[in-house]
Amino acid sequence: MKLGILGAGMIVGDFLTMVKDIPEIELKAILGTKRSEEKLLKIQAENQIDKAFTDYDELLEKADVDTIYVALPNHLHFDYAKKALEHGKHVICEKPFTLNLAQFMELKELALANNLVLVEAITNQYLGNYQTIKKLLPELGELKIIECNYSQYSSRYNAFKEGTILPAFNPKMGGGALMDINIYNIHFVVGLLGKPKDVYYLPNIEKDIDTSGILVLDYPTVKAVCIGAKDSTSEIRSTIQGNKGSILIDGSSSTIAEVNKQLNGEEDVIYQDNAHTNRMHEEFRAFYNMVASHDMTLVKEQLEHSQLVMEIVDQALTSSGIVLG
């Protein structure tokens, strides 16, 4: 895979640390802004990336890339991914995929019409521990309740309170608790249960954005609650309950560091089946394989999953009057 990276921020830093363990991914180009050019060139040199650009058109025309990794602020995902697809490039797009379902559908149609890989970088779907949870579910008997709580007080919330609106809390830039943090919980539940019959979002809204919120996903025989907060902290954990036992995941639904199975009347069993300590390793290994083998069957499956998530996001935001972008 000949990769062009868009963005030089926090997630790209994590990505570059991880990608050293996947030598099949060749780092051909990186795009940053003119205002941060010095930082961009430092990142390029430190990570032996072939070329650095501050002009996207130039990157698409001159760089020797077959795949683009969109790691830009949320409101830029759609335009930058679309342009890459129009230039015949495969696209790996950071979460949340787009700001709304209509944008997602346009990208999906464009990618499939041109036989290109398009996939959302959402860690939990690719983790070994998540596959283990799927296998263990039948042991819990009749599933009843799933609860995912990802609540982490954001240092940017202080600035927000004082009137400085950074991207994470900016509706125009696709910020908010649902898009930034609760999105992992939605992927977690949808990957296990599929499409819910009803969606209810109860957000705490300040200055037109959800700083925290509770999303209820209503399935015929299972009730799921996804809690995401950037204005308060709690123990971060997820639980899955059935009439014969439960599964407990301490820590975030993006990392799923360990799975604890607690069956009624039996000793707890702990599973750790993630292939790597870095949460991004398994997803990028999978993306490399998808591109290398041009596995459009898997691409379509993953797009169906992302579409269900985008449908939920759309419904949640629309029903609570939150307007992004």
Ligand X SMILES: NC(=O)c1ccc[n+]([C@@H]2O[C@H](COP(=O)([O-])OP(=O)(O)OC[C@H]3O[C@@H](n4cnc5c(N)ncnc54)[C@H](OP(=O)(O)O)[C@@H]3O)[C@@H](O)[C@H]2O)c1
- Both tokens assigned to 6: 């868009």
Q: Specify the residue, 31 or 310, whose C-beta has the smaller distance to ligand X.
A: 31
Spell out, one character per residue from 81 to 100, where the chain touches ligand X: x when CB under 6 A holds, - when not: -------------xx-----
Q: Among residues 235, 231, 149, 166, which one has the least CA distance to residue 9?
A: 166
- Both tokens assigned to 28: 């051909």
Q: Per CB under 6 A, which of residues 94..153 are in contact with ligand X? A: 94-95
Q: Per CB under 6 A, which of residues 151..190 are in contact with ligand X? A: 167
Q: Rounded to an integer, what distance in angstroms lies between the CA atom of residue 155 and that of residue 231?
A: 9
Nearest approach in angstroms of CB 268 to ligand X is 30
Q: Specify the residue, 83 or 300, whose C-beta has the smaller distance to ligand X.
A: 83
Q: Rounded to an integer, what distance in angstroms lies between the CA atom of residue 178 and that of residue 226?
A: 9
The window from 4-12, 154-162, 205-213, 221-229 that contacts ligand X (CB under 6 A) reads 4-12
Answer yes or no whether residue 74 interacts with ligand X by CB under 6 A.
yes
Assess contact for 246 and 240: CB atoms under 8 A. Answer: yes
Nearest approach in angstroms of CB 197 to ligand X is 28
Instruction: Please tell me the number of Cα atoms within 13 Å of 313 on its side-chain side.
Output: 32
Nearest approach in angstroms of CB 17 to ligand X is 12
For ligand X, the binding residue among 16, 36, 147, 202 (CB under 6 A) is 36
Answer yes or no whether residue 33 interacts with ligand X by CB under 6 A.
yes
Answer yes or no whether residue 251 interacts with ligand X by CB under 6 A.
no
Nearest approach in angstroms of CB 72 to ligand X is 5
Q: Rounded to an integer, what distance in angstroms lies between the CA atom of residue 56 and that of residue 42?
A: 19
Bridge partners for 29 per DSSP: 4, 51
Q: Specify the residue, 10 or 113, whose C-beta has the smaller distance to ligand X.
A: 10
Nearest approach in angstroms of CB 8 to ligand X is 4
Q: Rounded to an integer, what distance in angstroms lies between the CA atom of residue 59 and that of residue 45?
A: 17
**Whole-number Cα distances in Å, 181 to 159, 184, 214, 315:** 18, 6, 12, 17
Nearest approach in angstroms of CB 31 to ligand X is 5
Q: Count, in order, helices (H) and strands (E) of the chain.
A: 11, 14
For ligand X, the binding residue among 35, 38, 221, 297 (CB under 6 A) is 35
- Both tokens assigned to 7: 């963005």
Q: Rounded to an integer, what distance in angstroms lies between the CA atom of residue 218 and that of residue 198?
A: 5
Answer yes or no whether residue 38 interacts with ligand X by CB under 6 A.
no
Answer yes or no whether residue 31 interacts with ligand X by CB under 6 A.
yes
Which residues make up the interface to ligand X (CB under 6 A)? 7-12, 31-33, 35-36, 71-74, 76, 94-95, 167
